[in-house]
Structure 1
Amino acid sequence: MSEYYLGIDLGGTKILTGLGDGEGNILASSRRDTQAEMGEKHVINNIFKTVEDVLKKAGIATGHIKALGIGSPGPLDIKNGIIVENSNLPWKKVHIVEIIENKFNIKTVLENDANAAALAEKWFGAGRDVDDMVYLTISTGIGGGSVIKKELFSGYSNNACEIGHTVIDPNGPLCGCGNHGCLESFASGKSISRMAKEAVKSKQSDLILELADGDMDKIDAAVCAEAARKGDKTAAEIFSTTGFYLGIGLGNVVNIFNPQLIVLGGGVMKASDLFLDKALEVMHQNALDASLSVLEVKKAELGDKIGLMGALAVAMKERLIKNG
């Protein structure tokens, strides 16, 4: 009998649930708005509806589902299946695994979304041919996950690989985590937006504001990238600065993990032509030659599917390791 798995990509704006087979092929999916402002019970009900939608579309009963994986931002208590807190949801200590298992009687596994994405790229994306890799997502913030000997390395309390919160300049900007000078404060979508707004306020760039329709709130990494590609020197310099600091972060990753592969994903990578060469140059200046000699750096392959594929990979983890 075929094995089927469910994955739930739980985000602040959307819930995406999919049914996959044992090879990681998505057979059916359902998306609903999270509607976080409606409260915990409403969000959980939306999760239930996406699962029910998918099972109905596929014509498969819950008894044929081997496992269900959930990818969620943290902090999480993975051992006990609890979402401790989520900045995008009005939640505190939600026993999500117990809730799902009680509703559907399906074995359920919870994992940090960045770790889940690392698993997905390992088994279905850019890392399928390696045993040791680090995945970095460069989006609004910077997240990461590491795979060692084909298995996810989560750390003692499941908080490993918070590469975005490695401090690279203790005198740097305040980060959302409370520290100063985290990598995320220098090389993320949030930091690009901050630097672009500062440039507009100090009259260094009119084009950035023009491309944002004169609205400071619309200035983001995509607007800054458009300005850079149209020849705005200040915007180009912002991406050069981003590449410099990302390169320092990548050098640290190489020296700590000695991976075969670093996979770079996330929305900011759509502008990689503006900063990746600089990042790799700085990485090579800062990392040990012995580790660089065995290293590859690739862009993520799964694109917009990575959240759902990550959740499915979490559900399939035991099978993937056994068959890997």
Structure 2
Amino acid sequence: MQLPTGPCIGVDLGGTKIAVARVEPDGTLSRRCRIDTRVTDGPKVIIQRMCKEIQKVMGTERVAGIGVAAPGPLNARTGVILSPPNLPGWVDIPLREELEKAFGLPVWIENDANAAAWGEYMRGAGSGADPMLYMTISTGIGGGVVLNGRLFRGADTYAGEIGHTTVDPSGPVCGCGRKGCLEVMASGTALARAAREAAERGNSLLSEWAEQKGTLLTAEHVFSALDKGDEAAAAIVERTVEYLAIGISNVVHLFNPRRVVLGGGVTRSGEWLFNPLRERLGKWLMSSFSGTFDLRQAELGDDAGVLGAASLWAEKRDTFETTS
């Protein structure tokens, strides 16, 4: 990956952290920082905090522009954040306009899962695979598709919302207002909710840990308990894998990818997730799709969104020149 216009700033607003880094022309990241998002503070305060970190990373040296990966749904053409379930209060927020006013630089806003997908395609686990499907399993679930060497955005730039495909119509209400989305059934948040429910029923390591003062059960606790042979944790993971297999197989049937790359915090459990998922996919895929793609863990970690946003900013630089 090359950024021929010079260094720029990459920002990832997705998840519980805001990541900011200076991205050099060769794609390396330097002078980086990460701070808590604190979503309950609302858009005005979070944008101010983000601007402060951007300025800190930028310093006094000139950069060409700013690329931001933000939770969807959003309109990438206008740079407006619409109404992300994981950013409460962010309704029709003109983030691109706000940042351009603050820094006097061209800004590109991209869905965070799309940005991570592009980062993994350019320099990570998706390199050389086309079509490529990327899915992040973290606080929420998002996705991105690379098709014919380009990020597929759809007619209105809303494509890739894999987390809001329905996998259980009788499931709980998702943050988007609909029932049984993949996100509400199989995200890290869903795993944490299931852990708390299991703890309330008792007779598990999860209930023992929940009773410890100050312990808030998370997805990580579920996989730790599974590693110790806990039956309640095993049931949670089995159910989660089932929903992930349904969601992934649906998108595989649509796009026939050569590679499926999974990233996000939940995937750090490694083979505790990937081995049963590979097995369960066989149940939901049409036989003709068997062996047509490989399933891999993302390689770039927390850098995927920042790198992808910076690369997409460079790709869109002609847009700024023709619209300014």
Q: What TM-score does the superposition give when structure 1 sets the normalisation length?
A: 0.87
What is the CA-CA distance between 1:133 and the residue it aligns to?
0.5
Pick aligned residue for 1:4 from 7, 29, 33: 7
Which amino acid counterpart does residue 310 of structure 1 have in structure 2? G
Q: Deviations over 1:112-155 (max 9, x none)?
A: 11111111111011111122101111112211111111111111
Does 2:14 match 1:15?
no
Match of 1:92 in 2: 91
Match of 2:158 in 1: 159
SS in 2 for 1:103: helix
Contact 2:199 2:210 in 1 (8 A): no
Which amino acid counterpart does residue 249 of structure 1 have in structure 2? G
Q: Deviations over 1:41-96 (max 9, x none)?
A: 4433333322222222xx5224xx1x321111123222222123344364332222
SS in 2 for 1:147: strand
Contact 1:186 1:242 in 2 (8 A): yes
Match of 2:321 in 1: none
Q: Counterparts of 1:256 and 1:262 in 2: how far apart (Å)?
A: 13
Q: Deviations over 1:9-68 (max 9, x none)?
A: 224654322111222111322344446555544433333322222222xx5224xx1x32
Which amino acid counterpart does residue 61 of structure 2 have in structure 1? I
Structure 1 residues not aligned, in runs of 5+: 320-324
Cα pair distance change 1:292/1:223, threshold 3 Å = same
Contact 1:247 1:281 in 2 (8 A): no
What is the CA-CA distance between 1:164 and the residue it aligns to?
1.6
Identity of aligned residues (%): 38
SS in 1 for 2:142: strand
SS in 2 for 1:280: helix
Contact 1:70 1:314 in 2 (8 A): no
What is the CA-CA distance between 1:300 and the residue it aligns to?
0.2
Q: Which has the higher strand share?
A: 1
Q: Counterparts of 1:55 and 1:14 in 2: how far apart (Å)?
A: 19
SS in 2 for 1:275: helix
Which amino acid counterpart does residue 123 of structure 2 have in structure 1? F
Q: What TM-score does the superposition give when structure 2 sets the normalisation length?
A: 0.87
Pick aligned residue for 1:232 from 230, 235, 242: 230
SS in 2 for 1:137: strand
Contact 1:242 1:275 in 2 (8 A): no
What is the CA-CA distance between 1:229 and the residue it aligns to?
1.0
Match of 1:322 in 2: none
Cα pair distance change 1:263/1:311, threshold 3 Å = same
Q: Counterparts of 1:318 and 1:291 in 2: how far apart (Å)?
A: 35
Does 2:108 match 1:109?
yes
Q: How do residues 243-254 of structure 1 correspond to structure 2 at under 5 angstroms?
A: 243-254=241-252
Q: Counterparts of 2:231 and 2:91 in 1: how far apart (Å)?
A: 45
Match of 2:125 in 1: 126
Structure 2 residues not aligned, in runs of 5+: 318-324
Which amino acid counterpart does residue 166 of structure 1 have in structure 2? T
Does 2:46 match 1:48?
no
Which amino acid counterpart does residue 101 of structure 1 have in structure 2? E
What is the CA-CA distance between 1:2 and the residue it aligns to?
6.7
Q: Counterparts of 2:28 and 2:254 in 1: how far apart (Å)?
A: 34
Number of positions where the alignment pairs a residue of Structure 1 with one of Structure 2: 313
Cα pair distance change 1:141/1:37, threshold 3 Å = closer
Which amino acid counterpart does residue 31 of structure 2 have in structure 1? A
Q: Deviations over 1:230-265 (max 9, x none)?
A: 111121121122112211222112111100110011
Which amino acid counterpart does residue 234 of structure 2 have in structure 1? A
Match of 1:278 in 2: 276
Cα pair distance change 1:175/1:100, threshold 3 Å = closer
Q: How do residues 1-324 of structure 1 correspond to structure 2 at under 5 angstroms?
A: 3-11=6-14, 13-34=16-37, 40-56=43-59, 60-62=61-63, 65=64, 67-86=65-84, 87-88=86-87, 90-203=89-202, 205-214=203-212, 218-318=216-316
Q: Deviations over 1:274-319 (max 9, x none)?
A: 2322221121232234333331111000112223223222223358
State the 4+ residue runs in structure 1 displaced beyond 4 angstroms: 32-41
Which region of structure 1 is more displaced relative to structure 2, 165-174 or 28-37?
28-37
Contact 2:198 2:207 in 1 (8 A): no
Which region of structure 1 is more displaced relative to structure 2, 286-295 or 73-82?
286-295
Q: Counterparts of 1:185 and 1:27 in 2: how far apart (Å)?
A: 35
Cα pair distance change 1:215/1:292, threshold 3 Å = farther
Cα pair distance change 1:92/1:169, threshold 3 Å = closer
What is the CA-CA distance between 1:214 and the residue it aligns to?
3.6
Which amino acid counterpart does residue 23 of structure 1 have in structure 2? D
SS in 1 for 2:306: helix
Which amino acid counterpart does residue 263 of structure 1 have in structure 2? V
